Amino acid sequence: AGMRVAVVGAGVSGLAATKCCLDEGLEPTCFEQSQDIGGLWRYTEHIEAGRPSLYPSVISNTSKEMSAFSDFPFPEHFPVFLPNALLLDYLRHYAEHFSLREHIKFGSTVVSIHKHPDFATTGQWNVVTEAGGKKTSHVFDAVMVCSGNFSEPSLPLHCFPGIERFRGQYFHSRQYKHPDVFQGKRVLVVGMGNSGVDIAVEASRVAAKVTISTTRGAWLLSRVFEHGYPWDMILNTRLMSLIKTNLPGPLSWWLINHKVNRWFNHENYGLQPEKRYLPVLNDDLPSYILTGRITIKPGVKEFRENSVLFHNCPEEEPLDIVVFCTGYTVSFPFLEESVIRVENKHASLYKYVFPTHLQKPTLAVLGLIKPLGAIMPVAEMQARWVSRVFKGLCQLPSQSVMEKEVNEKKKNQVQWFGLTFDEILKTEWVVYLDTLASFIGAKPSVLGLLCTDPWLALTIFFGPCSPYQYRLGGPGRWEGARQAILTQWDRVLKPTRTRVPAGSSSSFPSLLTVVGFLLLLASVIFGF
């Protein structure tokens, strides 16, 4: 019999994990506590304990060509950025196409995962699940934890003096569903992540006044990037990645600063961050600040009964509702502390996947990383690597080597979802995918292709680093990969070029102009 693998959760990571196990001939059983797949992307009106909660207006931050699983492109008629219902629809099609449902046990909660008594020799795990009030114990050869990190809200009220005196309403962004709660009210949004900005923009359409309080500021990116192309198809290319990772720190900081300030000057809008944090994605905020619908303020100093005081601002601001957009805590309630150490929101994991101190590498965590790019291809790549490590086809380095690397990363401990920007440059989306792909032998060779398929090689290097690139060769090779890469812009233009004036030409960035421009850019940056 094949190796039995327990997969915890049937969201994006759990579906990818189940599919990659099947690809490698392993026997996955996926436990999902709710009655359906989709995890974060399945909207429910009521908020369920231990499950992520979504507001109806959520739209993906990454474009469809960059977010697709690598052997399953989105339908061409789908919009370029996806409302949550369509993303769920895609996940359903994926599950159906690869017959994943028969491996998922719905309504099954994983209660605990313990090392089997003879773990040192077998690497096995005792998994206890609960369904319909009845507990069952199983033995598995390996475990993939795909329970996500958006279920356990982080609400550090002790950091907000006077909140107990405040008479208005306050709640964590996880509770937010519809803007009508803000009708005619004076609203404060604390925190400037993606949810914070989304909620502030929505509130400002019905509220009397909306203020965002941010200690750190943030860079803002719009989905509609240069010349109207999706931001990630322009920024997440092999060339850009090479430039970002090889420039000296101050220069790459200047380059990114220059790129994001082309849209609007962040300092003039009160948004300029002091350090390098991950950008926030929102298409509306600058115009809402410009039209006075949203005001940006520094961190909260203290709350009063009906108002709030900000640092370095003498006057207090009257207030009815506070929304704390203070993020989430990484937690694994079903695991013993000893299996995964979580210190200040940061799990000690090699490549964000494997605990470093287990005698056998038979437990992995998927989808925890927060790169500046789509999570789906990343979770899938992690699953491809993990399933091969489980099978013994890929070896991990020694414990000491893994621990050294994890500790290096921990030194840069500025918090942003437990990651620092410098680390994120290291977990640069393309670099991270390439690293894992090279472990399994699926990293495309641009130089190799230059000789055999030059057009494809140029598209791969100068164009977007779309996930299909990781199916061109190696284990899990997919026949359709080359075609998917060469037609990616067609699928981007299909849903938007719905009215074509007579005599108009093709309109995606022609490779030759791009190549010419980039050579120019390279010569400017590196100086010939």
94-128 pLDDT, tens digit each: 999 999 999 999 999 999 999 999 999 999 999 99
- pLDDT surpasses 90 at 76: yes
Please indicate, yes or no, if residue 501 is contained in any of the structural domains.
no
Does the structure show a pLDDT above 50 at 130? yes
Give the model's confidence band at 341: pLDDT under 50 very low, under 70 low, under 90 confident, else very high.
Answer: confident
Distance between CA atoms of residues 16 and 394, nearest Å: 19
401 and 470 part of one domain? no
Same domain, 392 and 321: no
pLDDT value at residue 441: 97
Query: 232: domain range?
Result: 155-326
In this prediction, residue 414 carries a pLDDT of: 45
Place of tokens 């905020």: 285
- Note whether 121 and 73 are same-domain residues: yes
| Token duo for residue 268 | 């003039």
Percent of the chain with pLDDT over 90: 78
- pLDDT for res 46: 93
User: pLDDT value at position 348?
Assistant: 83
Mean pLDDT score of the chain, rounded to an integer? 91
Q: Is the pLDDT of residue 345 over 70?
A: no
pLDDT digits (tens, 9 = 90+) for 489-510: 999 999 999 998 888 766 666 5
- Compute CA distances 145 → 9, 69, 362, 373, 491, whole Å: 7, 19, 11, 21, 33
pLDDT at 416 over 70: no
* Average pLDDT rounded to a whole number, residues 207-235: 95
Given 432, 453, 480, which residue is the final one in a domain? 432
Sign of torsion, CA 41 42 48 53?
positive
Domain match, 382 and 455 both: no
**How many domains does the chain fold into?**
3
Res. 344: pLDDT tops 80: no
Domain boundary among 274, 291, 326: 326
418 vs 69, residue with greater confidence: 69
Q: How confident is the model at residue 63 (pLDDT cuts 50, 70, 90)?
A: very high
The larger pLDDT score, comparing residue 370 to residue 30, is at 30
pLDDT tens by residue, 252-303? 778 888 888 999 999 999 999 877 677 899 999 999 999 999 999 999 999 9
CA distance 188 to 210: 6
Residues 423, 345 share a domain: yes
Query: What would the two tokens of residue 433 be?
Result: 């995918």
Least confident of 21-25, 133-137, 217-221, 458-462: 217-221
* b/e burial code for range 140-178 (CB count within 10 A of at least 16 → b): bbbbbbbbbbbbbbebeeeebeebeebebebebbbebbe
Question: Which of the listed residues 378, 407, 432 is the one where a domain comes to its end?
Answer: 432
- For residue 190, the domain's CATH number is 3.50.50.60
Residues 318, 335, single domain; the answer is no
Residues 180 and 291 in one domain: yes
Q: What does the pLDDT average to over 22-41? A: 97
- So what's the pLDDT on residue 528? 35
Which of 14-28, 220-234, 409-423 shows the lowest mean pLDDT across its residues?
409-423
Residue 417 has pLDDT above 50, yes or no: no
Tell me, what's the pLDDT at 421? 43
Q: Domain check: are 162 and 87 in the same one?
A: no
Assess whether pLDDT exceeds 60 at residue 443.
yes
Using an 8 Å Cβ cutoff, are 61 and 194 in contact? yes
Q: Quote the CA–CA distance of 453 and 19 in Å, as a whole number.
A: 30
Above 80 in pLDDT, residue 521? Answer: no
The pTM score is: 0.93
pLDDT in tens, 314-326: 999 999 999 999 9
**519 and 372: one domain?**
no
Residue 342 confidence (pLDDT) above 70: yes
Question: Is residue 177 domain-shared with residue 312, that is, in the same domain?
Answer: yes
